[in-house]
Amino acid sequence: MTNRRPLIAGNWKMFKTCPEAVETAGQLVKLLSMTTDIDVMIAPPFTALAQVSDVVRGSCVSLSAQNLFWEAQGAFTGEISPAMLVSAGCKYVIIGHSERRQYFNETDETVNRRIKAAFDNDLIPVMCVGESEKERESKNTFSVLDKQLKMGLEDFSSDDLKRLVIAYEPVWAIGTGKTATSEQAQEVHKFLRSVLEKSFGNILAKSIRILYGGSVKPNNIAELMAMPDVDGALVGGASLDPETFSKIVHFRE
């Protein structure tokens, strides 16, 4: 057993208007009112952050953004700065999600800059890594993840990374209904921890939480969480429904 505290994170992606987000967050706070032994985070769209922040304040649910820009301010139309997220009530920010990499040209270099900006503003970055179906089939999973991790965390020290969270999300399992088996997830999480150990030392590698993301549901969460190197989940579609998401949070019951 580890002393890493589990984190169940919900990524709402481009779903929910402000009223819908407030309604969902309110239901979630009620459903999770007795939760004390696990960290919970939700990432609504930017437009709903401030309103959802008011709803979850004082509860076990923390607020996350889905992305940020690395500059403090300036002529960057359409972008959101770290300070804006903090002022809206965010504690976490998702960085390098596969959809950002796939559709919006996110690279390991921009992931690195965003992580630095998050740390500079006391936000906890949830750094996403993962391979495509083609990369897995050609047996390149480990080389792809090694590069994403090393380049994404270049020029950081182990001290810098104490608050980092990593999310492994195989691209072939996101929104497809396919899920990595618990053994596949464990194999990759163990590998990621070994890369961290080589780069930043054993103490950091053992303390960093690594989440699994990719079609996580109430019926597969307990099996995934039983793996020694799986510390939580980054949940997409199943986080949009408060009842379903609360069942995932309560995987021990």
Which residues are designated catalytic? 97, 169
d(CA 5, CA 209): 8
Strands (E), the chain: 7-11, 39-43, 61-65, 92-95, 124-129, 165-168, 209-213, 232-235
CB 118, CB 68: distance < 8 Å: yes
d(CA 253, CA 250): 6
d(CA 40, CA 173): 22
The angle at the Cα of 205, spanning 147 to 13, to the nearest 5 degrees, equals 60
